[in-house]
Structure 1
Amino acid sequence: MAVTGFEKNALQEYKSDANEVVHLKLVREAKDLEDESVTFHPAMSHQVFGSSENIFGYKGLTVELYYSACRLSTYVNIKYDEMIKSEDFDGVQPDDILRAISKHIPAGFCTNRDTFLALLEQDATFLPFGEIIHSYKRSKGGCTRNFEIYKSSIEVKGFRAYHERLQTFLLWFVDAASYIDVDDGKWTFYLIYEKQQTSYGVTFYRIVGYQTVYKYYAYPQLLRPRISQVLVLPPYQRQGHGAELLEAFYRESWSDNSILDITVEDPSEEYQRLRDFVDVKNCLKLDCYSADNISKGFTSALVKETQAKLKINKKQCRRVYEIIKLKYTTAQTLKAYRLEVKKRLHQPFQNSCKDVGKMEKALTSEEHEAFKISKTEKHKTLEVLYNECVDSYRHILERVASS
């Protein structure tokens, strides 16, 4: 029997937005379980609940996915006011939420609140994995917080299971996320912890974020590390931790003669801005980026020095060069700057036009007119790209100036 229009409307009442009903927490102490101020929500959920990012079959639904802030012991709890009765809607079944989640998180998570609270107590004995490579502080409102960055490999005892729990956050915050093959020994892991010493003598190390790096081979006998996954967890975002993480990795790499340069795998716009900020700040300390030297243009000497001292690859070096040159650009030199940047932006169009140019002779008058229009559109597109590029450059320079 087909579902009627009235039944379709009724079914809509059992549909929930997964990004709203999934509640994530990093639980520090028992009272956090009831504290909604420490709740955060996914940026996306299609990797768990499908492209619609909806959960069907419940009214008043809350999906609690909680982690202890140190060990990442995991608790899953599903609450709802009402679940659909399949017999009332021609056999329509509710989504199996626990099954959908359990496909993506390691076995051993608990669904019992008391069990989770018992596991939470073990956070007091947790110690970070690997070796510490950097520490720093953040102060706000008279309160100073301490953070440490550690470097680890998968061989460190206990880290494999810990990483399996940690990487599950990627599903909710990184589009097209995939779990890496940790058995490949070329992976290195960098983790940030907040270090908090209590008045009763216990030190807690609570996870803030992490980064994975894969060491690719660079001919003839060097390495080209690629930053792969980077995530700072929502309670710690917009506090400069991503920059600290990247800087710590850079400092370690600068003195390593086996490293040619560093790349980033498919950086998001947000991460590209972070990378630009850190790279510009570092490059401004080099003499080759002085106003006098940068006026000489994008030279091979500049690329070579940047790569040798800061391990920045040629493509990123070009971007940094343009940002810093904008800093020194005046009203008198703006036209030349614009032409230089547009020439670089125009390169992909030029490459594609080489083949089109060969075909132009064979075009009819109508086709030739259409081709002219497409060239006009191309120039409009180029202008938009230039303006977007320069706007982003200005934001980077403003951030560097205020840092």
Structure 2
Amino acid sequence: MAGMNAMEKKLAEYKCDTNEAICLKLVRFPEDVEDESTTFHPEYSHQLYGDDEVAFGYKGLQIQLYYTAGNLNTLFKVKYTSKVSEKFDCVEPDNVEGKIREIIPPGFTSNTDDFVALLEKEANFRPFGSLLHTYTVHGGEDGEDITYQIYKADMACPGFREYHARLQTFLMWFIETASFIDVDDERWTYFLVFEKYNKDGETLYATAAYMTVYNYYVYPDKTRPRVSQMLVLPPFQGEGHGAQLLEAVHRFYCTSPLVQDITAEDPSESYVKLRDFVLVKLCQPLSSFAPEQLSQGFSDAMATEAREKLKINKKHARRVYEILRLRVTDMSDEEKAKSYRLEVKRRLFGPYKKNQREMVKMKKCLRPEELASHISQMDTELQHQELEKSYQELLADYRRVIERLARI
């Protein structure tokens, strides 16, 4: 930091990490408001505060965004110990509050007492839409099972539009490339997970997770639901809700003859792992995926049965086959291991082969030095190394799915 003058040093003290400054809460009881252990923080705030995720102009900055657990009524408050403009002329603090106002809908309160009063109304809150599935997760504080319910909703549900506007603000903090959707487009369907809990002898509901699905039209008379965004709120992560939600959505669409298959928009690595687990779990009872069929290789019967019964496309069915085949293959048997490895590598090699075909086409129109640089990029030895690396990574992912299945 050499060369920083005294003024710059002073100003540097007024920088705050926005991921730390933003304090989020899902509040059930009045005492949660002051309880540090119920606070969680964003993973991302770059969409509002720039790539460095820093707010300038405040010391001890705290941006409180507290939500009632069910209906997500919002408390929004900005606190700090000192502000730069009170000490220095000509230096303006960032408009921290204005940035948050851009994403949270109007109707919030900035008064903690008013917010606590809103908690009383939570007893009247009921989940939106129609109930699809109920399940339990073991182990509350007293070791009792906790009940969760999955609902399907749309904008026609009274009050849902306003609720969704509050809910989607969480996307900004937990999905790196999040964007708000056009809620006036009727092809969106919403799936929500709620926890049922007791408070003073009454049953209440807390928002735990949600997913948006867009129903694309497929000629001539089908639709292709595409998972757009999926978020399990941080207090509920690591409990299997993502898998429950995705499975419930598949089961919901399975029954419709008009649905072609279910896809996902730009899926993250963690979503792909989740999907592998859910699809394998759904496919293992199918007759075409029986152990004796797996050793014969990937078949049209598998692709067809997965699509017709579970709305799984061919590419995903192929991954399911590879995972289930790995599970029944004795990898300590060299012959069996080699047979498995070659089959998976053949699929992985597809893109390289395509590349080589394109090279042959390019040869006709490239100057020799351009060709040399392209050919060196396609060095066979390098290809083999890349292929082996991809294969080992895939194997590690597949084994994680198999371990998770074993825990069911």
TM-score normalized by the length of structure 1: 0.94
Q: Deviations over 1:274-309 (max 9, x none)?
A: 111111111111121122212222222210111111
Query: Percent of aligned pairs with the same residue?
Result: 46
Quick one: distance in 1 between partners of 2:134 and 2:90? Answer: 58
Q: Which moved more, 1:361-370 or 1:268-277?
A: 361-370
Question: Are positions 1:371 and 2:371 aligned together?
Answer: no
Distance 1:36 1:301, change over 3 A: same
Q: 1:365 to 1:272 in 2, by over 3 A?
A: closer
Question: Is residue 174 of structure 1 aligned with residue 160 of structure 2?
Answer: no
Decide which of 322, 338, 341 is 1:338's aligned counterpart.
Answer: 341
1:77 aligns with 2:77: yes
380 and 152 in structure 1: CA distance in 2 versus 1, 3 angstrom threshold: same
Gaps of 5+ in 1: none
**What's 2:315 paired with?**
315
Match of 2:300 in 1: 300
Aligned to 2:51: 51
Distance 1:216 1:121, change over 3 A: same
Once residues 309 and 233 of structure 1 are traced to their aligned partners in structure 2, the CA distance between those partners, rounded to angstroms, is 31
Q: How many residues align?
A: 399
Structure 2 partner of 1:33 = 33
Q: How far apart are 1:219 and its partner, in Å?
A: 2.4
Q: For the residues of structure 1 that align with 2:378 and 2:197, how far apart are their CA atoms?
A: 60
Determine helix, strand or coil for the equivalent of 2:318: helix
1:354-379 alpha-carbon deviations (Å, 9 max, x no partner): 22234458775996488346413333
Aligned to 2:276: 276
2:21 corresponds to which residue? 21
In structure 2, the residue corresponding to 1:51 is in which secondary structure? coil
Amino acid at match of 1:114: D
Quote the Cα distance in structure 1 between the aligned partners of 2:350 and 2:367. 24
Secondary structure at the aligned position of 1:305 is classed as helix
SS at match of 1:258: coil
Q: For residue 407 of structure 2, what is the aligned residue in structure 1? A: 402
**1:136 CA drift (Å):** 1.1
1:69 Cα deviation after fit: 0.5
Name the SS of the counterpart of 1:75 in structure 2: strand
- 1:21 positional shift: 1.4
Alpha-carbon distance, 1:5 to partner: 2.7
Task: Please name the residue that 1:349 is paired with.
Answer: 352
Supply the distance in 2 between the matched residues of 1:229 and 1:50 (Cα, whole angstroms): 22
TM score, norm. by length of structure 2: 0.93
Does structure 2 conserve the Cα–Cα contact (< 8 Å) formed by 1:133 and 1:248?
yes
Cα distance in 2, alignment partners of residues 47 and 366 from structure 1: 40
The code of the aligned residue for 2:398 comes to Y
Q: 3-state SS of the aligned residue for 2:138?
A: strand
Change (3 A) 1:312 1:367: closer
- How far off is 1:271 after superposition? 1.1
- The one-letter amino acid paired with 2:354 is N
Relative to 1, partners in 2 of residues 1:8 and 1:130: Cα closer, same or farther, differing over 3 Å? same
The 3-state SS of whatever aligns with 2:211 is strand
Gaps of 5+ in 2: none
Give 2:286's aligned residue: 286
Relative distance call for 1:189 and 1:358 in structure 2 (3 A) is: closer
User: What SS class does the counterpart of residue 103 from structure 2 fall into?
Assistant: coil
Pairs within 5 Å for 1:173-252: 173-198=174-199, 200-252=200-252
Question: What are the superposed Cα offsets for residues 17-45 of structure 1, whole Å, 9 maximum, x if unpaired?
Answer: 11111110001111101101111110100
Equivalent in the alignment of 2:121 = 122
Aligned residue for 2:391?
386
Q: 1:388 to 1:4 in 2, by over 3 A?
A: closer
Structure 1 letter corresponding to 2:164 = H
Change (3 A) 1:139 1:354: same
- Distance in 2 (alpha carbons) for counterparts of 1:268 and 1:372: 32
- Could you tell me which residue of structure 2 aligns to residue 92 of structure 1? 91
Q: Against the structure 1 CA distance between its residues 349 and 62, is the aligned structure 2 distance closer, same or farther, given a 3 Å change threshold?
A: same
CA distance in 1, matches of 2:326, 2:85: 64
Q: Is the 8 A contact 1:360 1:368 kept in 2?
A: no
State the shift of 1:181 in Å: 1.0
Structure 1: how far apart are the matches of 2:243 and 2:348?
Answer: 27
What letter matches 1:139 in structure 2? H
Indicate conservation of the 8 Å contact 1:86/1:93, yes or no.
Answer: no
